[in-house]
């Protein structure tokens, strides 16, 4: 049991530390001389993160719920996640400002981390795969959140200092999920379905529109590469 707790902490730390690493990469990118490929790279990273998220929805977050629940129930849970994230997104848009950007980044990370801790108790391979997906999606999300915060007037040190505790929230979420959801497979599947519905809403509301660049086709290829990485991870660990 103790060994499992250590693994959960390590996996959730990996999935969360990419929030800080994404911000650090954005800082380094910011210090580079401005060049005509800058916007192209940013949009490609957004699309890549979207591709990883689609893979997480398709291969990790929805299969168990579809298997365990009747059609009416998994449809209701999935749509409840979409509507909830829609309402949160609307509220954040009305509020605006830098805090809203950070909250938006955490909307999918925290429930996924809870699911990570709960899933790990039953299936180490799926837990590892979920940690990989979460880490990959947090990297481009924090990269872009850093840029938004800089545009709002926040300094680099202040932003990265805020990203450090945010990176560690996944550990608390994973331990919470492992402690209280370990013997509740239907609740775990429901949480993952709920997160999947919200994530799919965010992909088409926020990520996909931001990834497009006129007369550029690389970002769309970045999305397919992100999805392929999800396929490879599923095949290797499944």
What sign results for the dihedral spanned by CA atoms 180, 183, 184, 188?
positive
Number of H helices, E strands in the chain: 10, 0
Mean pLDDT by 10 residues, the chain (238 residues): 79 90 87 66 73 79 86 90 84 63 67 79 76 81 80 86 89 86 82 84 70 56 67 64
Question: Model-level pTM?
Answer: 0.74
pLDDT, tens digit, 9 for 90 and up, residues 150-180: 877 888 998 899 899 989 888 988 888 888 8
Q: What is the pLDDT of residue 161?
A: 92
Q: Residue 127: what are its φ and ψ, rounded to 5°?
A: -60, -45
Domain extent at residue 18: 2-237
Question: How large is the angle between the packed helices 97-120 and 2-31, nearest 10 degrees?
Answer: 150
Task: Report d(CA 8, CA 156) in Å as an integer.
Answer: 30
CA nearest to 65, candidates 50, 83, 80: 80
Report the pLDDT value the prediction gives residue 24, as an integer from 0 to 100: 92
What's the number of domains the chain is made of? Answer: 1
pLDDT of residue 76: 92
């Amino acid at each position: 049991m103790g060994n499992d707790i250590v693994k959960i902490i390590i996996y959730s730390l990996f999935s969360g530390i990419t929030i800080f690493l994404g911000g650090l990469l954005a800082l380094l990118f910011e210090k580079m001389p401005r060049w005509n490929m800058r916007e192209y790279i940013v949009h490609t990273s957004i699309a890549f993160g979207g591709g990883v998220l689609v893979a997480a929805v398709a291969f990790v977050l929805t299969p168990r719920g579809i298997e365990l629940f009747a059609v009416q129930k998994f449809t209701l849970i999935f749509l409840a996640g979409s509507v909830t994230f829609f309402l949160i997104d609307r509220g954040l848009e009305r509020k605006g400002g830098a805090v809203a950007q950070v909250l938006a980044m955490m909307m999918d990370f925290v429930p996924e981390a809870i699911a990570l801790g709960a899933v790990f108790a039953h299936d180490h391979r799926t837990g590892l795969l979920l940690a990989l997906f979460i880490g990959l999606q947090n990297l481009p999300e924090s990269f872009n959140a850093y840029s938004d915060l800089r545009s709002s007037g926040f300094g680099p040190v202040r932003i990265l200092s805020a990203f450090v505790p945010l990176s560690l929230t996944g550990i608390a979420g994973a331990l919470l999920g492992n402690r209280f959801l370990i013997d509740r497979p239907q609740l775990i599947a429901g949480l993952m379905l709920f997160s999947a519905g919200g994530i799919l809403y965010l992909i088409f509301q926020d990520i996909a529109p931001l990834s497009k660049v006129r007369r550029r086709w690389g970002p769309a290829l970045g999305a397919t590469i992100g999805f392929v990485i999800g396929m490879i991870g599923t095949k290797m660990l499944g």
